[in-house]
Amino acid sequence: MDMSIRVVVTGSKGRMGQEAVKMVMADPELELVAEVGSPRSGGEGASFSGVPFLTSLEEALLAYKPDVLVDLTTPHVVKSHMELAILHGVRPVVGTTGLSTEDIEELDKLCREKGVGAIIAPNFAIGAILMMKFAREAARYMPHVEIIELHHDKKLDAPSGTAVKTAELIQQTRQELKQGHPDEEEIIDGARGGYYHGFRIHSVRLPGLVAHQEVLFGHVGQTLSIRHDSMNRESFMPGINLGIKKVLKLDRLVYGLENVMD
Ligand code: NAP
C-alpha cells in the first residue's frame, strides 16, 4: 500500500517554492501531486517536476486530493489559500510571511471548527529557532534590546515575520521599559526603526542578502549579539519537511516550528 503523504505546493515557481518542489521530490515518504502558481508564472500544464501545474488552488485540491498544502506565496493570497485548504480538510504548512495576529486568530478558529491541523512558521530554519529561543532567555536579564533584520530586496513585508516573532518572545520575559533617551528626536523619519512595546526593530533590504537577523542586547559596559544567517533557501527545507510530517497529527493551528520540535 502506498503510504506516501500527498503534497501540493503553491507558489511553486517562486524561489522558496522551487526548493520545496525539489525537497518533496527527493523524499520517498512524500509525493508531489500538483503545483499551483499565479497565471504570471506561465501557462497551465506540466512543470519541470513533471507533475501538473495549475493556476487554481481549488481545482488542484479537488482533482489531486492532497493531504498537505505547502504555501510559499505572498502576503496577499496566503490567508485565502489557507482557508480554502482547511475547508477541504487539507492541512496547510505555511512559510509565507505577512499574516497579522488577527488573521492567525481567525485561521486558528477555523482549524478548530473543522478539526484540521495547520502549521505557520515565520522561519523554518533550525538556527533561527534557536536564535529566537536564546533571545527570549537573554531578555530576562538584559532588557535593553534592539532587533536588526536583513533581507534581500524582493521581500514584501517589513519587519520580517521572524523579527515579529522574536519581538513577541522577547516581550514575554523582558521587563517593560522604554529605551533610549526620553528626549531623543528623529531627524529623519524612521531612523530609530519600528517601535514594539518599548524597543525597536530595524529592517535592512539589499540585493545579495538572503535572510539574516541580529538581536543586540546592551547592559552596563557590555553587549550581547545573537545572530543567525540563512545563506540560501535550502536552509528552510528540513524544517518544512518536518512540518509536513508533524501537521498530519494536528487538529489545530500551531504557530512556530519550535512548537512541533521534540
Ligand atoms: P517569490 O520568489 O516572489 O515567490 C512567490 C511565488 O508566489 C511566486 O512564484 C508567485 O508567482 C507566487 N504567487 C503569487 N500569487 C499567487 C497566487 N495567487 N497563487 C499561487 N501562487 C502565487 O518569493 P519567495 O522568496 O519564494 O518567498 C515566498 C514567501 O516565503 C514570502 O512570503 C517570504 O517572506 C516567505 N519566506 C519564508 C521563509 C520561512 O522560513 N518561513 C523563508 C523564506 C521566505 P508570480 O511570480 O507569478 O506572481
Q: Which of 88, 144, 155, 245 is catalytic?
A: 155
Does the structure show a pLDDT above 80 at 262? no
- Distance CA(211)–CA(147), nearest Å, equals 14
For residue 11, report the distance from its CA to the centre of ligand 1, in Å. 5
Inter-residue long-range contacts of 181-185, CB under 8 Å, 24+ positions, other chains counted: none
- Tell me the pLDDT band of 76, cut-offs 50, 70 and 90: very high
Give me the domains of the chain, ranges plus CATH numbers. 5-120+234-261 (3.40.50.720), 126-230 (3.30.360.10)
Does the structure show a pLDDT above 60 at 1? no
Does the structure show a pLDDT above 80 at 42? no
132-146 burial, b for 16+ CB within 10 Å, e for fewer? beebbebbeebbbbb
Give me the chain's average pLDDT, please: 95
Instruction: Say which range, 44-53, 86-95, 137-146, 197-206, has the weakest mean pLDDT.
Output: 44-53
pLDDT, tens digit (0-9, with 9 covering 90-100), for 108-145: 999 999 999 999 998 999 999 999 999 999 999 999 99
pLDDT of residue 136: 97
- Distance CA(229)–CA(150), nearest Å, equals 9
Q: Is 151 a catalytic residue?
A: yes
41 Cα nearest atom in ligand 1? 47
- Measured by CA distance, the residue closest to atom 25 of ligand 1 is 15
- Distance CA(24)–CA(37), nearest Å, equals 17
- Compute the 3-state secondary structure of the chain and give helix, strand, coil in percent, each to the nearest 5: 35, 25, 40
Q: Is 76 a catalytic residue?
A: no
Does the structure show a pLDDT above 70 at 33? yes
22: nearest Cα among 230, 212, 240: 240
- Tell me the pLDDT band of 2, cut-offs 50, 70 and 90: low
Residue 229 and residue 212 in contact, taking contact as beta carbons nearer than 8 Å: yes
Angle, CA of 155, 123 and 121, to the nearest 5°: 110
The DSSP bridge pattern shows strands 194-196 and 199-205 to be: antiparallel
Query: Is the backbone of residue 161 left (phi > 0), alpha (psi -120 to 50) or beta?
Result: alpha
Residue ranges around ligand 1 (CB below 6 Å): 10-11, 13-17, 36-38, 40-41, 72-74, 77, 95-98, 121-124, 155, 211, 236
